[in-house]
Structure 1
Amino acid sequence: MTKALERVNTSDEQPVTTQVVIIGGGIVGVTAALALAERNIPVVLLEKGQIAAEQSSRNLGWIRKTSRHVSDVPMAQAADRLWAQMPERIGRSVGYRQAGIMFLARTQEQMAMYEAWHESVHPLELDSKLLSPAGIDQLVPGGKGAWVGGIYTPSDGYAEPAITTSAIANAAMKKGAILIQNCAVRTLTMSAGAVSGVVTEKGEIRCEQVLLAGGAWSRRFLANLGISLPTLPLICSVLRTQPMKGPTDIAVGGPNFSFRKHQDGGYIITQRGKLDAPVTLDHLLIGHRYLDQLRTQRSFLKIGFGRAFMNDLKMKRRWTSDAQTPFEQVRTNDPLPNHELNQDALNNLKAAWPAFDDAKIEEAWAGLLDVTPDSNPVIDRINALPGLFVATGFSGHGFGTGPAAGQLAADLVSGVQPIIDPAPYRFSRL
């Protein structure tokens, strides 16, 4: 993980009863806890490891509407409003800046995709605009790339993942939420056909509703309950440079690199054109659900068969409430960064913007994404287990929409008017 992650001090005492239990201490679960606490709803959040130690602190920090599924844009718009309110809401800055995000096209085929997306979101009245090569040079000077064009959304931006979820967690506790780290939830307890509590490694908590926001672990947790959630893992490697003078504060995504300014003056960089795809048993079980994605994105995936497969086989897929679970065996999913991909990204970026020629790498890390067949998350109730709700499968987009996704999950749990139409995120679509 990034060494800049802020630690959170939480309670060690597990209550006997509450109204809502949230499983997972990432940005979505923590934001849901804050929203419930603000409504004076008793809530306990349980994290098997450390708050924000997995993908919520390992992502790029981008907050974007650009190139999202059209059905997902309203959530991104709602998230923009919540990001803007965040400093006042939680009492501190999380580095949120609407500095804009730009995507670049090297070929006419890539440009056609941006043009089609721009046309599709026209009714939503976004501030996105198509760019010519001259427009790119004006916004991000000093470049040497031969771009056909691009797309730019000034109201997009970024925040700092290493502090955001931790800051929201502290605010949730001040509002009355109870957060507990290093406490895995093993399973649910049921009474009269509905959820009546959770069994943790430290004992039982009785409750009325449970929200599962466990990221890449959600599929395994649900499978033990007889619920099949189709998600598969991808690994994104990231680097951060030392402070340097760069070409822009705008976040930029090229075909084979991306970069954005970090609050310390360095840059967050990744190989946008390549992700590691470690083969696991789940690929054999549900891989057919992803054939359409594989046909269109095979060139972006570095498929590997090796240690990840064996490690996955060693972890239990079924267990009882009195047995140790995979969540206790692996407190933090901590994949090794692919230094070859990171160096490739930096080389590609240097070729496009020579201002990065003297960039020095400060640190590198990797994060595990949980990807659904349509790349949209699931935020919904599980009808087969009344009282259970899920907010998971964010497919690498969860940080940017996290405040709105957590709010939507809290709305569904508490039965109030949802912040947006939840229809695109229904479990039944999968």
Structure 2
Amino acid sequence: MTQRIETEVAIIGGGIVGASAALFLRRQGVPVVLLEAALCGAKASGVNYGGVRRQGRGLEQMPLTQRAHELWGQLPELIGIDGEYVRSGHLKLAFSDADMALLEAYRDRTRGFGMNLELLDRRALSQRFGWLGQNVAGGSFCPEDGHANPRLVSPAFGRAASALGADVREGVRVTSAEHDGSRFIVRAGDELEVRSRYLLNCAGAWAGRYAESFGEAVPETAIHPLMMVTEPLPVFMHVSLGVQGGGIYARQVARGNCVIGGGRGVSSGPDLARPGRANVGALMANATQLLPVLQGAQVIRFWTGVEGNMPDHNPVLGPSAKVPGLFHAFGLSGAGFQIGPAVGEVLSELVVRGQSSIPIDAFRIERYTDAAHGAVARPESVREQTLESP
């Protein structure tokens, strides 16, 4: 027998984006039903590296990442835990003079966004971070970027939303979503039907399927970032590391374990991935070259995940170009953990006020679709209605 629910906002996907959107909507009294196929925060949001960085993002993401930086500073207030979040600093390394020139140009382009980037030459790196490999030419240091534990943070957003009255349903796989001209109808097989005025498509690597079902096909692909963690080691590294041009990233947690990422896992189906033996060897070799102290350390686990990726590495974020009341937020391209809470807040603003407080035009779905770029009729915002909370 099908259970039928009426609500104001339905959300597909309980990762950090969907769960934070539910949280911010409930903080404003908006009724929400969140449907998650697995457990909240169990997919890409919970298995990522845990970097909480602004450095390295494109200019178009600066307002979004700056707002996210403010929200991360309020994490215990938002979700009730600190999530092992530390502002350790983020060090982006260069292996050549050309890489250093790119870091310098990036520092100059991003002045005014509060990152306070400091360029370090080889000598300065040796003095401050003597544990780095000798092939590093220099780096750029962002003192207030950091890292956190995604396995703690991401599920906590779902719990916090539920504690404020969101109807969070885990283990519910959405099989269809449509609009009947007045309401959205979201179904999970024959067991559940949710009708809502608004629909938020936050389904991560699977969100492109829902966008396509509403006539907005986009070139979202799946990527499988590869990661590993070592046994606890004496603490030698307090910063989070990255490399100009990508390739490897690393951090050490308070318990001494080093979390290291780089390269890609192997797809083992449309919804699954595995580390892959050849890729594991390359990651270990690159890690010991960058961090010689890791030689002889035991790796206790390898893993990967499934993340949505867009060709320009920017998310799809904002209103549908075709269906009033539909909002997309997906394709965060392996860098969504830090901006996730701000993306959720933007979604809540689009529902409640009809507009975002920060610019998001660069992320419109129209950049990938053939839809007209003119104005699209939208339902009035929640704040313009007489709305009764449950």
In structure 2, distance between residues paired with 1:174 and 1:37: 9
- 2:112 pairs, out of 103, 123, 139, with 123
Contact 1:237/1:365, CA 8 A, preserved across alignment = yes
Deviation, 1:191, is 3.0
The answer on whether the counterparts of 2:266 and 2:274 sit within 8 Å (CA) in structure 1 is no
- Of stretches 55-64 and 86-95 in structure 1, the one that deviates more from structure 2 is 86-95
User: Partners in 2 of 1:417 and 1:137 — Cα distance?
Assistant: 48
What TM-score, normalized to structure 2?
A: 0.88
The correspondence for 2:336, drawn from 391, 394, 398, is 398
1:362-373 equivalences under 5 Å are: 362-373=300-311
Aligned to 1:16: 5
Deviations 1:329-360 (A, max 9, x none): xxxx3311134323322322223332212321
Partner of 2:195: 206
What is the identity, as a one-letter code, of the residue corresponding to 2:185? Answer: G
Q: What is the aligned partner in structure 2 of residue 268 from structure 1? A: 259
| 8 Å CA contact retained: 1:104, 1:149 | yes
Query: Residue 7 of structure 2 contacts residue 194 of structure 2 at CA under 8 Å; is this kept in 1?
Result: yes
Confirm whether residue 412 of structure 1 aligns to residue 383 of structure 2: no
**SS across alignment from 1:60:** coil
Deviation per CA, 1:218-269: give whole Å up to 9, x if none.
Answer: 1122223332122112211110111111421101124643211235320111
Worse-matched range after superposition: 138-147 or 110-119: 138-147
What residue in structure 1 maps to residue 291 of structure 2?
A: 353
CA distance in 1: counterparts of 2:249 and 2:18, whole angstroms: 28
AA aligned to 2:125 is I
Tell me which residue corresponds to 2:95: 106
Which of 329, 344, 350 is the equivalent residue of 2:282?
A: 344
Query: Is 1:49 aligned to 2:38, yes or no?
Result: yes
Query: Is 2:249 the counterpart of 1:258?
Result: yes
Secondary structure of the structure 1 residue equivalent to 2:11: strand
Using the alignment, how far apart are the partners of 2:131 and 2:5 within structure 1?
Answer: 61
Q: CA deviation at 1:135?
A: 1.9
CA distance in structure 2 between the partners assigned to 1:126 and 1:21 by the alignment: 36
**Larger helix percent:** 1
3-state SS, counterpart of residue 74 of structure 2: helix
Contact 1:141 1:247 in 2 (8 A): no
Q: Aligned ranges for residues 238-317 of structure 1 at < 5 Å?
A: 238-254=227-243, 256-271=247-262, 274-275=263-264, 311-312=269-270
Mean alpha-carbon deviation: is it higher for 58-67 or for 239-248? 239-248
Q: Which runs of 5+ in 2 are unaligned?
A: 369-390
Partner in structure 1 of residue 366 of structure 2: 428
Q: 1:417 to 1:223 in 2, by over 3 A?
A: closer
1:429 is displaced (CA, Å) by: 2.1
- 1:235–1:335: 8 Å Cα contact kept in structure 2? yes
**CA contact 1:142–1:355 (8 Å) conserved in 2:** yes
Report if the CA contact (8 A) 2:201-2:330 is conserved. yes
Give a deviation string over 1:71-90, Cα, whole Å, max 9, x none: 10211111111011011222
Cα deviation, 1:100-135, whole Å, max 9, x if unaligned, reads 111111112222221221111123242111111122
The answer to whether structure 1 residue 382 and structure 2 residue 320 are counterparts is yes
Check conservation: 1:407, 1:419, Cα contact below 8 A. no
Task: Tell me how many residue pairs correspond in the alignment.
Answer: 364
Over residues 6-29 of structure 1, what are the superposed CA-to-partner deviations in whole Å (9 max), with x where a residue is unaligned? xxxxxxx96611110000011000
The residue type paired with residue 279 of structure 2 is L
Aligned-partner SS, 1:110: helix
Which residue in 2 is equivalent to 1:293? none
Higher mean Cα deviation, 248-257 or 397-406? 248-257
SS at match of 1:124: coil
Give the C-alpha shift of residue 277 in structure 1.
Answer: 7.6
Secondary structure class of the residue paired with 1:367: coil
Separation in 2, partners of 1:277, 1:410: 35
Q: CA deviation at 1:141?
A: 1.9
State the SS of the aligned residue for 1:17.
strand
1:123 is paired with a residue of what secondary structure? coil
Q: In 2, Cα distance between the equivalents of 1:137 and 1:345?
A: 24
Greater Cα shift, 205-214 or 221-230: 221-230
Q: Deviations over 1:7-52 (max 9, x none)?
A: xxxxxx9661111000001100000010011111000100112222
Name the aligned partner's letter for residue 74 of structure 2: Q
Gaps of 5+ in 1: 1-12, 279-307, 313-332
How many percent of aligned residue pairs carry the same amino acid? Answer: 30
Which residue of 6, 15, 26 corresponds with 1:26?
Answer: 15
Q: Indicate if the aligned counterparts of 1:20 and 1:207 stay in contact, CA closer than 8 A.
A: yes
Shift of 1:276: 5.2
Q: What is the CA–CA distance in structure 1 between the aligned matches of 2:292 and 2:311, rounded to whole Å?
A: 38
The answer on whether the counterparts of 2:202 and 2:330 sit within 8 Å (CA) in structure 1 is yes
Paired amino acid for 1:270: G
What SS does the corresponding residue of 2:76 show, helix, strand or coil? helix
Q: Which amino acid aligns with 2:280?
A: N
